[in-house]
Structure 1
Amino acid sequence: MSLIIAKFGGTSIGNGKRIRKAAQSVVKEYMKGNKVVVVVSAINRTTDELLEIVEEATNNTITEKQLAEVVSMGEMTSARIFSSALESLGVKSEYIDPYKDEWPIITDSNLLDAKVDLKTTIKKSKILLKLLDQGIIPVVCGFLGRDKHGYITTLGRGGSDITAFLLGRCLNADEVIIVTDVGGVMSTDPNKLQEAKKLDKISVEEMRDLATHGAQVLHPHALKYKVPEIKAKIIGFEHGDLSAPGTEIIGPSKKEQLKTVTFNSEPLAVLAVVGEEILNKPGILAKLTSTLSKKNINIIGVSTGKNSITLFIKKEDAQEAHKLLHDVVVEDENLSSLSLGRDIAMITISSPEFIDTPGIISEITEPLREHNLNIVEISSSQTSVVIFVDWDDGKKAYELVRGVLE
């Protein structure tokens, strides 16, 4: 017997026939002996239509409390219809919305972009297990929360994904299944490139970066609640079967769940290639990197500017790389000069919470400014920040940055 969290997006329950098909897929798992908690979004375009009506009717004078209550109607309607569809198929179901005592998701009072109180939500979620033990299928409103004053809050657009993974974590579910209008995660947007292919699996880190940079398959903040022990996949609604194959989301690893600061034990070398407006010259970066790749020289970091490209490599490869790239500079009329700079230290700071932490780069770098330590280069992703400083400043910078995370 497995505990499954099944989240249905707005398109997958876009009309009555689709809702019934979705309900049948849930009943199919229920009849196998599995326990299922359903999470629903608003029916397709409902939230957008409500927002348009509110804007026209109030001339944008509506309060945050009023707006949160209005937009919640989409999910509350979906939950009621879906629960009714389940019962029409002969199983017991109960819709769970923020007005009910059984409501599990407690947040702060930022009504339109609330943050989850995880500790309280874990406690409150246990009541769903009691319903499941009674043979009842709970249908939970996605996207919504409730603050300590009893006010409805929202988790931001796309927040139903957050609801699904959050409940998966709080209930120690075996699997979270996201049902969408596509059959899984694609190699690119199929609406823009017909050759797009479905991926069989993708890591949490890859999925997070895709979602943050525009892929509409999954809310990037949802993945902060994904733990390695819980399986997860994205499938298409057309199957009408929660056991259908899709794209499996792998991870995160134990290391990726932790806050870490690492100091590269060996110094790096920095090579700077300059040329007038080389940022606008196609193929320059490819020529430089492929030259080093052919000699099996790994590039640790790359920085580009209007008139320069800076490469960070292992110090042991510096002399060979210097000669190889000098030959490229001499042969290419777009390039004018190359320099091999001083030894560089690299510090990597990682945390899954960075995606939800505005100003984290400023917080990390402020102690370095206060101690007059110069940053040579900085790069960042959704869960990590990499800082390059002079080698002589490396150990001190490492200690200062580590103090920020502690």
Structure 2
Amino acid sequence: MSLYVMKFGGSSVGDTERMLRVARRIAAKQDEGHRCVVVVSAMGDTTDDLIDQAKLLHSQPPAREMDMLMTTGEQISVALLSIALHGLGRSAVSYTGWQAGFRTDGTHGKARIQEIEPRRVLEALEKDRIVIVAGFQGMTEEGEITTLGRGGSDTTAVALAAAIRADVCEIYTDVNGVYSTDPRIVKTARKLNEISYDEMLELANLGAAVLHPRAVEYAKRYQVKLVVRSSFNETEGTVVKEEASMEQGVAVSGIAYDKNVARISILGAADTPGVLAKVFGKLAEEGINVDIIVQSGVQDGEADFSFTVALDEMQRSMDVIREIRAELPYREVTSEDHLVKISIVGAGMVSHPGVAAEMFDVISRLGISIKMVSTSEIKVSCVVEAGRLNEIIQALHTAYGLDTSEKAFVGGPQDRR
């Protein structure tokens, strides 16, 4: 008898009809002889609706109260799903994140899991119950309710699977698995049968929304067998594991993109030791993550350098740079939005010369200028203007031989929690 953790996102339980379909799927898994722990997100647009209501009352609601509010969406989901399973004649019990043993730090809105004490989950399993756990939430040692931030339900599922030593963690979404790129942009995107943790982590960090990076990190650290599959059909999904077999001749496994990109340039900074350390140290103190960094040539003792941050951190980053001008003189600081980062990822790139050159050639033949480049052993990223994103991705997808004759299945709005 195998132990399964099954995670269903908001679109999978978006209404009572879908909720009942999920309940039947869980019951069928139990009928196959498996024990089931299920992690659920809030139904459909519940979370967005709650945020909208809060902002009608206060333009900047307190983070603690937002966590108190946001966790109610998952509590509704777990209770309804448990009720649906009881209606099918199954023994089920629902738990909040803290009842399931999730202890976090005190960072409201993006707390991190510190430990899991799954005693109640294991006791319920011993009684042959189906256990339903609210994703995205936990509690501090002091009893404060917290949420895990974007992708929190994925993280809940994988972390719980590690804690109870589940045989498999299945992430159910609205597509058939992990695709070579966004199937909403490229209808002939290839579904990958398997992908390595490292490749999946790169794709997730670079913008692929099918799994959250923190969930993949947990899976890799604790060697959790992870399967991404559709909640709308029975198609076999994508297995995420330590090493995936590479298809012959395919150097690139996937293409990801990130629209949440801004570029900041500091012009005319003194070319002296410690300049970069001061700038990026200050940004780090403010909790601002920097991605690509490029320094241009030095002239007359001055240097220019640029870096990218998340678009929603652009203004705060500019404020930080202006604040340190007295300590770090520079001629000018500029910012640029309306950008996108497009990345190719593949473990086979390291043994295939010319992969990066092909990417640059494809983009140049479209008459598009590349603003910044970043590389690693298994990825190449280019920052370009956002206007022709779909065209670039389609051209790259074709150039790397990733097109298929089959049309990708997309069931609905992609789950983000």
User: What TM-score comes out, normalization by structure 2 length?
Assistant: 0.58
Question: Max radius of gyration: which structure?
Answer: 1
1:360 equivalent in structure 2: none
- Distance in 2 (CA, whole Å) between partners of 1:42 and 1:70 is 12
Residues 98 and 152 in structure 1, CA contact (< 8 A), matched pair in contact too? no
Aligned equivalents of 1:98, 1:246: Cα separation in 2: 27
After superposition, the Cα gap between the structure-2 partners of 1:196 and 1:299, relative to the gap in structure 1 and judged at 3 Å, is closer
Instruction: Tell me, yes or no, if structure 1 residue 177 matches structure 2 residue 170.
Output: yes
- State yes or no: 1:127 paired with 2:120: yes
SS in 1 for 2:104: coil
Shift of 1:175: 0.1
Give the count of matched residue pairs: 260
Write the distance in 2 (CA, Å) between the matches of 1:200 and 1:2. Answer: 22
The CA deviation at 1:53 is: 1.2
Residue equivalent to 2:62: 63
Change (3 A) 1:147 1:247: same
Instruction: Write out aligned runs for 1:129-278 (5 A).
Output: 129-227=122-220, 229-239=223-233, 241=234, 244-251=235-242
Amino acid at match of 1:70: L
SS at match of 1:176: strand
The alpha-carbon distance between structure 1 residues 379 and 237, as it changes in their structure 2 partners (threshold 3 A), is: closer
Deviation at 1:231, TM superposition (A): 2.0
Using the aligned pairs only, state the percent identity.
34
For 1:85 and 1:298, the matched residues in 2 are separated by 54
d(CA) in 1 for partners of 2:230 and 2:352? 43
Residue by residue over 1:234-290, the C-alpha shift from the partner in whole angstroms, topping out at 9 and shown as x without a partner, is 111112x5xx5111111269xxxxxxxxxxxxxxxxxxxx9xxxxxxxxxxxxxxxx
- Distance change in 2, residues 1:195/1:177 (3 Å): same
1:109 corresponds to: 106
Whose helix proportion is higher, 1 or 2? Answer: 1
Q: Can you give the 5+ residue segments of structure 2 that lack an aligned partner in the other structure?
A: 245-296, 298-348, 358-373, 380-417
- Deviation per CA, 1:36-64, whole angstroms, max 9, x where unpaired? 0000011112111111111112222x221
Q: 2:121 & 2:378 partners in 1: Cα distance?
A: 32
Higher RCO (CA < 8 A, seq sep 6+)? 2
**Change over 3 Å in CA distance of 1:85–1:300 after alignment to 2:** closer
Partners of 2:194 and 2:73 in 1: how far apart?
A: 32
Instruction: Tell me: CA distance 1:22–1:381, structure 2 relative to 1, closer, same or farther (3 Å).
Output: farther
AA of the residue aligned to 1:112: G
Q: Which residue of 1 aligns with 2:86?
A: 87
- In the superposition, relative to structure 1, how do residues 15 and 380 fare at CA in structure 2: closer, same or farther (>3 Å)? same
Q: Distance in 2 between matches of 1:65 and 1:297?
A: 50
Aligned equivalents of 1:191, 1:379: Cα separation in 2: 26
RMSD: 2.9
Q: Which string of whole-angstrom CA distances, capped at 9 and with x for unpartnered residues, describes residues 80-116 of structure 1?
A: 11111111111111110146xx331100111211111
Task: Specify the code of the residue in structure 2 equivalent to 1:249.
Answer: V
